[in-house]
Amino acid sequence: MYDSVDLIKQTKVYIHNQFSSDTTGHDFYHIQRVVDLAKQIAQEEKADLFLVELAAWLHDVGDYKLHEGKDRSAELIQKYLSESNLDENLTNKIVQIVSEVSFSKGKTPSSQEARIVQDADRLDAIGAIGIARAFTYGGSQQRQIWDPENSSETTIQHFHDKLLKLRERMSTQTAKKIAQQRHQFLEEFLENFHKEWGEHF
Ligand code: ADP
Ligand code: NI
């Protein structure tokens, strides 16, 4: 048998060991912030706090971006949770939630818990921290800041392709509220960025 408080504590250590030295914007503190946001949303939305918190801690484990383009999340989470003696039913739920979180996989979550972790992950991609993460991830992928002649592979283009759309794609009311200010800050940032560059936004 497992103890839920112990399992969460142990999972935090497991994640810290794996992610503390990440420099692509998916570091331990990204995951810690997603956990905090997900718990806040779960409380407001009256969701299962244990499932939400555990899935939030594990949401970037095995992500394809950190494993040479291969998604190993189901395999690694199964292994970790079965070694931690979590029962099969809960393990499968966590694997399912995590598989539905990623924006790039384009899935529509089938449970309230997955919607909450996805919203929390998306909130950490916007606002001041979202801006910092985008340039860090962009740099790690050899992307330029901006190129008006060839915008497609730049980090500023990523704001238009993805980040500015996230506010509309929040599922929960709580996340929609938190997203307002963060979205506005992205708009202000882009306006100033293009103004300083000498462009119209
Ligand atoms: P997920 O991990 O939910 O699939 P992403 O990998 O798309 O989401 O995004 C994770 C982080 O990396 C976010 O902060 C996002 O802004 C950033 N990111 C993803 N793709 C790019 C890109 N092409 N340029 C800059 N930042 C990116
Ligand atoms: Ni994430």
Token pair, residue 175, equals 């996340």
Residue to probe by mutation, ligand 1, list 103, 137, 145, most atoms within 8 Å of CB: 137
Residue 96 corresponds to which tokens in the numbers above? Answer: 């399912």
pLDDT at 71: 84
Tell which atom from ligand 1 comes closest to the C-alpha of 60. 2
Structure confidence by residue, pLDDT tens digits, 125-168: 999 999 999 999 999 999 999 999 999 999 999 999 999 999 99
Q: What is the pTM of this model?
A: 0.94
What residues line ligand 1, using a CB cutoff of 6 Å? Answer: 25, 63, 65, 102-104, 121, 125, 130, 133-134, 137-138, 143, 155, 158, 163
CA of 103 to the centre of ligand 1 (A): 8
Q: Dump the DSSP string for 149-186.
A: TSGGGSHHHHHHHTGGGTGGG--SHHHHHHHHHHHHHH
Which amino acid type is present at position 38? A
The answer to whether 59 and 121 have CB atoms below 8 angstroms apart is: yes
The two tokens of residue 72 are: 């190993």
Return the ligand 1 atom nearest residue 143 CA. 24
pLDDT value of position 63: 79
Confidence of residue 104 (pLDDT cuts 50, 70, 90): low
Ligand 1 atom closest to the Cα of residue 104 is: 4
Residue 108 CB burial class (10 angstroms; 0-12, 13-18, ≥19): exposed
Q: Which atom of ligand 1 is nearest to the CA of 125?
A: 14
* Average pLDDT of the segment spanning 167-193: 98
Longest dimension (CA), the chain: 62
Residue 1: pLDDT band (50, 70, 90) is: low
Of all protein residues, the one whose alpha carbon is nearest to atom 13 of ligand 1 is 125
pLDDT value at residue 201: 63
Task: Note the pLDDT tens digit of each residue in 76-102.
Answer: 999 999 999 999 999 999 999 999 997
Ligand 2 center from residue 56 Cα (angstroms):
8
User: Does the structure show a pLDDT above 90 at 75?
Assistant: yes
Residue-level pLDDT at 107: 73
Please tell me the residue having the least CA distance from ligand 1 atom 6. 104
Residues less than 5 Å from ion ligand 2, measured at CB: 60, 121
pLDDT at 105: 66
pLDDT in tens, 13-65: 999 999 999 999 999 999 999 999 999 999 999 999 999 999 999 999 987 66
The share of the chain scoring above pLDDT 90, in percent, equals 87
How remote is the CA of residue 73 from the centroid of ligand 1, in Å?
Answer: 17
Over the stretch 155-165, which tens digit does the pLDDT of each residue have? 999 999 999 99
